[in-house]
Amino acid sequence: MEAVIEREAVEREAVRTDWTREEIAALFDLPFDDLMFRAQTVHRAHHAAGEVQLCTLLSIKTGGCPEDCGYCSQSKSADSGVKATKLMDPRAVLQMAAQAKDSGSQRFCMGAAWRNPKDRDMPAIVEMVKGVRQMGMETCMTLGMLTPKQAGMLADAGLDYYNHNIDTSPERYESVITTRTFGERLETLEHVREAGINVCCGGIVGMGETRADRVGFVHALATLPRHPESVPVNALVPVKGTVLGDMLADTPLAKIDDIEFVRTVAVARITMPLSMMRLSAGRESMSEATQALCFMAGANSIFTGDKLLTTGNRGDSADAALMAKLGLRPMTADEPMRVGA
């Protein structure tokens, strides 16, 4: 009887967008084993057990961004040593996409360090999207803020996903970024949705925030009119020369507690049952045990390769060895939210 009640509770939560902060805080406060059991129960009700989506991320335009995001080494205001580059030639991007496909990636994500793309850049961006799609891979772009017209152009090109993170809680946001408002983040998400493109939206933990901020971060995502199809959960990589990197260097706040990070993944899984939960930046410094707990908590997507935009990543061989050790296999089917749509 208890199993039946639990499954009915899982089904009722499948499409909830009315979560309260009190409910989310109560999930964070659960005993760890209870939280993990509930997250895994929700996960298995909607996703294939033991499957992890492999994605590759490429910086197609690096550095020189006018935004002042405190965590970002690509900001013009950061003294991180990152050199500004021009937008890559589409042919070079497609060559990298082909290599990613050969390595088993299902999705190819392309990121440009812009506040927003210029209209003159859109033809090359469209060419990249169409080329990657023709290879049979899913496509994702992160280019900053979009106008409705630009979102429409990306949709016409066949873009599958657009990434635009909210980064942190609404209350914490202004202490991390001042050149763009939280509301402007949401406006771009609306343009993406209206164009018919799937949303990839998450954020970063370990920026010196409180648990209340992590509650607010999950709440902001879980109460969107439609949950993001993909939710990247990043652990801050403190880069020297960035505001947060310098502020948190050599302090206890520089790295979020592993168990608290896993709790964040688990709560996100419970509140957004159908979303792909991506274990993103910061994985390079995580132990295998912490990553295994994240997968148990409902993470089912990772970035492969040696680099994430400008920071390091574990690399294909290390990921393959870990997946083999844990008995995980690459995902090949469509994501639950896309199947449902």
Asked if 65 is an active-site residue, the reply is: yes
Active-site annotation holder among 55, 72, 201, 294? 72
How many Å is the Cα radius of gyration of the chain?
Answer: 19
Active-site annotation holder among 38, 55, 107, 140? 140
Residue 160 vs residues 38, 46, 97, 192, 196: alpha-carbon distances, Å: 30, 21, 15, 11, 9
Asked if 109 is an active-site residue, the reply is: yes
Backbone angles phi, psi at 261, to 5 degrees: -65, -45
Active-site annotation holder among 38, 172, 200, 283? 200
Instruction: Give the span between the Cα atoms of 106 and 201, in whole angstroms.
Output: 18
Instruction: Give the span between the Cα atoms of 30 and 16, in whole angstroms.
Output: 20
Active-site annotation holder among 214, 263, 278, 283? 278
Asked if 185 is an active-site residue, the reply is: no
Asked if 201 is an active-site residue, the reply is: no
Asked if 294 is an active-site residue, the reply is: no
Active-site annotation holder among 109, 185, 214, 314? 109
Asked if 200 is an active-site residue, the reply is: yes
Asked if 278 is an active-site residue, the reply is: yes
Strand partners, 200: 163, 230
Residues carrying an active site annotation = 65, 69, 72, 109, 140, 200, 278
